Chains A and B, each alone.
Chain A
Amino acid sequence: MSIILNHVNYIYSEGTKIAQHALKDINLQIGDGEFIGIIGHTGSGKSTLIQHLNGLLKPTSGEVYYNGRDINDKDFSRKELRSKVGLVFQYPEYQLFETTIFADVSFGPKNQGLPENEAGLRAFEALRSVKIPEELYYQSPFELSGGQKRRVAIAGVLAMKPEVLILDEPTAGLDPMGRDEILDEIARLHKERNMTVILVSHSMEDVAKYVDRLIVMNGGVVAYNGTPREVFSHYKKLERIGLSAPSVTYLVHDLFEKGYDVDVNATTVDEAVETILNCFKK
């Protein structure tokens, strides 16, 4: 068990008129090596939730445990936590600040207290794993294209060698190819390094394709928690909270209602192809 949230509540501006109960009694377990998707519309509490996982926000009540230890304990090192739980914010390219790409990516490892050469090695590895061509390493990060900037920013967190990687909408604003590249990259990192990955996304199609487990947030509570198939089987209820299942899910449900014997739990294009072919080729 790597992360456990126990009755976590979070209230913004507690005690004032504008107080906002952003998280309500959240209980979650996130195991080692899981690939998890978090969905929910703006204001559902998903951003607040992920900021609890690396101690940027402290629960108003309740506890967050990392490998069995309460991360908000006085003797728990924040520095250590932040290098174990890497968090990539939305539009991470807006955090780039160094004069060269290489220096920017080394920022995290240096903050971890690693010596210069070790930090450099980490930066080198991280940049290679996000496929930034070597000739760019000593260029200014501000001259890169949007997609490249984002990959450099992700490398900045990877260089800290986190055990858990959290990404807040890593594909926002990218074009279809940029989106697929980043997501494939993340899936590969998950597989190769057995890293726990938590992906916050708006896109049902994306999460259905990649994640093992889906957490749906709504109004500060966990509305659903299960495999994409389980969660999307509630597609009608999802709509009531402003979300929707992938379009193929709707199609297989409609087919089923018309009396065709298809698997209504298909959530990706490939799953839908398979079940429809099975049904129609008979």
Chain B
Amino acid sequence: MGIIKAVKLCHEYIHRDEEGNVDNIETALDNVDLDISQGDFIAILGHNGSGKSTLAKHMNVILSPSEGTMYVDGKDTSDEDELWNIRQTAGMVFQNPDNQIIAGIVEEDVGFGPENIGVPTKEIWARVENALSKVHMEKYRHHSPNKLSGGQKQRVAIAGVIAMKPKVIVLDEPTAMLDPIGRREVIETIEELNKKEHVTVILITHYMEEIVNADKVFVMDHGKIVMQGTPREIFSKVDELKSYHLDVPQITLLAHKLREKGLNIPEGVLTKEELLERLCQLS
């Protein structure tokens, strides 16, 4: 069993009217099966409302399954005794950088998680030190989060998760509110964590360029996983992706269109270098 495994996972949001009667039931997750290996870089794609955020929240037990089971590191998330263990194992970074930083000083915020789980003071300091260096934010440890850029804030949030020594980091659209520079900072940070620390990364995003280096991509639509595979496999199906309201990276789209016009270029070209090479081979 992988580090994260979902078996026929269902989630329903029940909306009630003013009298408390069930108004309508919205199926956010519909029989999702998923198995993620330790150390992988996983990307989850899907348009807004496709259920990807709901899925992420199950990995951190912010939500519990309506039906089916979710296992994190072999532990069933509906087992209440394991709640705090699971939350330590699978840390979570959210979209809005302002709404997840609790303390008024960077280092104190990074220490917030370890404080909650009762880590002794001396070790908290060691963990904070380590976590800040992993995201290259040591210089800012005494700063107020309000003075940081969006990308820096997200790196602080990531450090806050690393300080819990997780095996998995789930990032729910961490770059949606950032500018291109901030986006690059965050993606480089998580790629480095995945490679050097072998932390399993689960990245939810709308930016296709961010996931060309992922090990595996899942595409969600209407609460179901509708596509899965390597970025190359996924991005070679441009039209299918479009039907799920998704994009491909600009270079992939260019390659796809050139192929349609009769040039001998394979589907699923991901990078500029690759396309350049393919084009040079043509003549």
- In the complex, are there CB atoms of A and B closer than 8 Å? yes
- Chain A residues with a Cβ under 8 A of chain B: 41-42, 145-147, 172-178, 202, 205, 242-244, 246-248, 250-251, 254-255, 258, 260, 269-270, 272-273, 276-277, 280-281
Q: Which residues of A contact B39 (CB under 8 A)?
A: none
CA separation between A207 and B74, bound complex, in Å? 47
CA separation between A42 and B149, bound complex, in Å? 8
CA separation between A281 and B258, bound complex, in Å? 11
Name the distance in Å between A271's Cβ and chain B's nearest Cβ: 10
Quick check: B251 and A251 within 8 Å, CB to CB?
A: yes
Q: Which residues of B contact A202 (CB under 8 A)?
A: 179-180
- 12 CB < 8 A contacts A-B: A41-B179, A146-B48, A172-B177, A174-B48, A176-B245, A176-B247, A242-B181, A247-B251, A258-B276, A276-B279, A277-B263, A280-B283
CA separation between A205 and B247, bound complex, in Å? 13
Q: Which residues of B contact A254 (CB under 8 A)?
A: 272, 276
Quick check: A42 and B179 within 8 Å, CB to CB?
A: yes
Q: Which residues of A contact B247 (CB under 8 A)?
A: 176
Quick check: A255 and B206 within 8 Å, CB to CB?
A: no
Name the distance in Å between A46's Cβ and chain B's nearest Cβ: 11
Name the distance in Å between A246's Cβ and chain B's nearest Cβ: 6
CA separation between A270 and B250, bound complex, in Å? 11
Quick check: A280 and B282 within 8 Å, CB to CB?
A: yes
Q: Is the interface of A mostly helix, strand, loop or mixed?
A: helix
- Chain B residues with a Cβ under 8 A of chain A: 47-49, 95, 149-150, 173, 176-177, 179-182, 206, 208-209, 245-247, 249-251, 253-254, 257-258, 261-263, 272, 275-276, 279-280, 282-283
CA separation between A202 and B182, bound complex, in Å? 11
Q: Which residues of A contact B149 (CB under 8 A)?
A: 42
Quick check: B261 and A277 within 8 Å, CB to CB?
A: yes
Name the distance in Å between A173's Cβ and chain B's nearest Cβ: 5
**Which residue of chain A has the shortest Cβ distance to B49 in the bound complex?**
A145
**Which residue of chain B has the shortest Cβ distance to A244 in the bound complex?**
B180
Name the distance in Å between A40's Cβ and chain B's nearest Cβ: 9
Quick check: A269 and B179 within 8 Å, CB to CB?
A: no
Contact residue among A145, A246, A248, A258 (Cβ-Cβ distance under 8 Å from B280): A258
Contact residue among A176, A258, A272 (Cβ-Cβ distance under 8 Å from B246): A176
**Which residue of chain B has the shortest Cβ distance to A257 in the bound complex?**
B276
CA separation between A175 and B95, bound complex, in Å? 13
Quick check: B251 and A176 within 8 Å, CB to CB?
A: no
CA separation between A223 and B111, bound complex, in Å? 42
CA separation between A172 and B251, bound complex, in Å? 22
Contact residue among A41, A147, A172, A270 (Cβ-Cβ distance under 8 Å from B48): A147
Quick check: B176 and A177 within 8 Å, CB to CB?
A: no
Quick check: A247 and B49 within 8 Å, CB to CB?
A: no
Quick check: B254 and A250 within 8 Å, CB to CB?
A: no
Q: Which residues of A contact B261 (CB under 8 A)?
A: 273, 277
Q: Which residues of A contact B245 (CB under 8 A)?
A: 175-177
Name the distance in Å between A113's Cβ and chain B's nearest Cβ: 37
Given contacts A175-B245, A277-B263, A280-B283, contact A251 B253 (CB under 8 A): no
Q: Which residues of B contact A280 (CB under 8 A)?
A: 263, 279, 282-283
Q: Which residues of A contact B47 (CB under 8 A)?
A: 175-178
CA separation between A172 and B209, bound complex, in Å? 16
Quick check: A251 and B254 within 8 Å, CB to CB?
A: yes
CA separation between A244 and B48, bound complex, in Å? 27
Name the distance in Å between B86's Cβ and chain A's nearest Cβ: 29
Quick check: A178 and B48 within 8 Å, CB to CB?
A: yes
Contact residue among A42, A175, A176, A269 (Cβ-Cβ distance under 8 Å from B254): A269
3 smallest A-B Cβ distances: which pairs? A177-B245, A176-B247, A175-B47
Q: Which residues of A contact B208 (CB under 8 A)?
A: 176
Name the distance in Å between A179's Cβ and chain B's nearest Cβ: 8
Contact residue among B173, B181, B249 (Cβ-Cβ distance under 8 Å from A41): B181
Q: Which residues of A contact B262 (CB under 8 A)?
A: 281
**Which residue of chain B has the shortest Cβ distance to A181 in the bound complex?**
B245
CA separation between A281 and B262, bound complex, in Å? 9
Name the distance in Å between A202's Cβ and chain B's nearest Cβ: 5
CA separation between A255 and B251, bound complex, in Å? 14
Q: Which residues of B contact A276 (CB under 8 A)?
A: 254, 258, 263, 279
Given contacts A176-B47, A176-B206, contact A248 B250 (CB under 8 A): yes
Contact residue among B180, B209, B272, B280 (Cβ-Cβ distance under 8 Å from A243): B180
CA separation between A178 and B260, bound complex, in Å? 26
Quick check: B276 and A251 within 8 Å, CB to CB?
A: yes
CA separation between A205 and B251, bound complex, in Å? 11
Name the distance in Å between A234's Cβ and chain B's nearest Cβ: 17
Quick check: A173 and B275 within 8 Å, CB to CB?
A: no
Name the distance in Å between A276's Cβ and chain B's nearest Cβ: 6
Quick check: A145 and B179 within 8 Å, CB to CB?
A: no
CA separation between A154 and B150, bound complex, in Å? 25
Q: Which residues of B contact A175 (CB under 8 A)?
A: 47-48, 206, 245-246
Quick check: B179 and A247 within 8 Å, CB to CB?
A: no
Quick check: B48 and A251 within 8 Å, CB to CB?
A: no
Name the distance in Å between B237's Cβ and chain A's nearest Cβ: 15
Name the distance in Å between B263's Cβ and chain A's nearest Cβ: 6
Q: Which residues of B contact A246 (CB under 8 A)?
A: 250
Max chain B CB contacts within 10 Å: which of A147, A176, A178?
Answer: A176
**Which residue of chain B has the shortest Cβ distance to A282 in the bound complex?**
B283
